[in-house]
Chains A and B, each alone.
Chain A
Amino acid sequence: MRALARKITDLGTDLVKKSKSTRSFTEMMSLVALRKNFKDGPWKHPDAAEVRVALIGGYNVYPMQELLEHLLAMEGLNCKLHVGNFAAYASEILNDKSSLHAFKPQVTIVIPSDDSGAYTGGLADPIQTQRDAAHQAANSLLELCRTLHAKTGTDVILTNFAPSATHDLGPFRNRTLGSDWNFRRAVNLELGLNAPAFVQICDLEFLFYRAGALASRDPRSWFESKQPCSPDLLVDLSREFALTVAARHRAAKKVVVVDLDNTLWGGIIGDDGLEGIELGDTSPRGEAFKTMQRFILSLTQRGLLLAVCSKNEIQAAEEPFLKHPEMVLKKEHFVAFKANWRPKADNIREIAAELNLGLDSFIFIDDNPAEVELVRQLVPEVSSVLLPDDPADFVPFLQETRLFEVRSITAEDSARNEHYRINIEAKKLAAAAPDLKSYLRSLEMTGTIRKFRKEDVPRLAQLIGKSNQFNLTTRRRSEGEVLQVMADPDKRAFSVRLKDRFTDHGLIAILILDIKGDTAEIETWLMSCRVLGREVEEFCINEIFRIAKQAGAREVLGRYLPSPKNAMVADLYLRMGFTARADHFVRSTSDFHSYSTQIDSDQENV
């Protein structure tokens, strides 16, 4: 008996899992049938919230209603569903005596048909007429929502308009707002930007885009049974509805707890050390982890708090945050930092107590299945996420968990506003195109020059290996040879990093000077082409002369060794005031005056 009971529970768990992931109509309908055969299931909670949902619109809502009811059940909600008559939604909303009003919905899903998002005028109408029509189309729908909300207090989920899937009108479709293609997009924009807080836009345009418009449109099912889209897209659409409704009954997520090793960087800091972990532009994997860090950081702009929970010695766990040049995340981004050998569930409970926040507002991210499983069992309130095997998939995977979505952004999320402000300013700068000096000044650039460091070696070797155009001598070096340079007492080897107010460009230039008596020879000078035109050349030459003077050199010698790709720097030394000799260029250190640049210099132990 007990074995049978367990088997039934497993079947139920499986049913929930499949229902949450399948995008096939027939599979989902089979799951619906299966659910109806269950007396009880793991999705049924004795204290499940009841939610009254009305489904109305310009379409036949069967079989969507079956899917919606099922998916709401899978979300643990006890749903009372009211369905409207085909295409009667406007009168149902406007008539106080309609069954819709009597139902007293808490959430009303409105699916307007294509024709309420269509332009009825001509393709050659003045643009302002077409714009007004788009605004009007959006506004009349929003007005219906406002009316219903005012009379019943219901929240509203309003779908926007699906894009057409054919090439109709050809290239001209983009040249007029009167084309279906452009007009629907304009109406959708108006809907999203003007919707009041109680209206959530269900982005049907995006769902079509994601699944492919050709696969999502189904003209026959419209003519035959007034369906809004293909059967499979009905699943996507119903799922959006269910998730939006369910989100009302869930605690908002507030804290993201992340593991460190193999989550924020590749490898294990305690074993591999600072130079051994994979992070940054050194390798594809390192780049993927850096991207992961950027995503985690971006969550703070949505108003989420970050915390660390890692099985590590605290010193080892902190080291990358303090010393690794490619770390995007800094210690100050985290409200809690737990690195110890205690069970993660304990640490998470402790963080929740410290912050005085409910565990159901926590998300936990780890790459280790055992840790995730343990947290799932010991603190089931927490949404625990097991990362996929390949770090390339981390960010898209997390985005698809739907856990990091925000319903609205309030003034509290000022960091996000700040972000927008910066982007807008960047665009303004580009658009205005002022004179070069003031443009460069406005970038607020900082150049950091410092001696080669062990943890930079992979990136140094990589830049040495791939820089072709701005490379005076094209001397390639392996990681081992870079280490030899560092050990050579006659060589002065420096890396240059550049940051501006918009972005950190990372390591962008390499200088290696060979000190021979009173001559400092520029043995290697290479630069990433990403930063051309920003006076980094002048910045570098200033640094070269400063270092040469420090080393007691009376002249600086430069060479240009032509390669098939480095013609752009053939006259670099002449431009920098050097005198040409038979096979090299020289300039004395005594008559050198620093070039003025718009880059603030930040010298580290140089």
Chain B
Amino acid sequence: MTHAEVLAKLSEIVGRVVYHEVSLQSSTTAHDVKGWDSLAQISIVIFVEQEYKIRFRMGEVAATRNVGEFADLILRYRQKAESHA
């Protein structure tokens, strides 16, 4: 799983939650995407967790500064999950 793959998947998920097509870059922030507010964030996190079968701790996602860092966080959790498997 590469960083680019995670970005593509995130674009799909965010698009589904904010009801329009989006194309995310590493530097994109929630402010850059119409509709990506704190409410949409709730659904986006649930989608990501179910998609990747991971579970973030409280505050972890909120601490990421852009989509790239969010993707890094996802990748870290996946690697952890795979090393346990």
Contact = CB atoms under 8 A, between A and B. Distances in A.
Interface of A: 24-26, 29-30, 33, 36-37, 60, 62-63, 66, 220-221, 223-225, 227, 231
Contacts of B63: none
Interface stretch (B3-11, B25-33, B43-51, B77-85): B43-51
B47 A29 contact: yes
Contacts of A26: 46-47, 50-51
Given A26-B47, A29-B47, A220-B58, A227 B19 contact: no
Contacts, number: 38
B54 interface: no
Residue of B46, B47, B57 ringed by the most chain A CB atoms within 10 A? B46
B16 interface: yes
Contacts of B43: 29, 63, 66
14 contacts: A25-B46, A26-B46, A29-B17, A29-B47, A33-B17, A60-B39, A62-B42, A63-B39, A63-B42, A220-B55, A221-B42, A224-B58, A225-B42, A227-B42
A36 B17 contact: no
- Prevailing SS type, chain A contact patch: helix
Given A26-B46, A60-B39, A224-B58, 13 more contacts: A24-B50, A25-B50, A26-B47, A29-B17, A29-B43, A29-B47, A37-B19, A63-B43, A66-B43, A220-B58, A223-B58, A231-B46, A231-B50
Contacts of A36: 19
Contacts of A220: 55, 57-58
Contacts of A25: 46, 50
A399 B46 CA distance: 31
A5 B60 CA distance: 46
Contacts of B51: 26
A62 B19 CA distance: 15
B63 to A, nearest CB: 12
Nearest to B56: A220
A499 B16 CA distance: 62
A33 B16 CA distance: 6
B74 to A, nearest CB: 15
Contacts of B46: 25-26, 231
A520 B15 CA distance: 88
Contacts of A66: 43
A225 B43 CA distance: 11
Contacts of A37: 19
A33 B15 CA distance: 9
B37 to A, nearest CB: 9
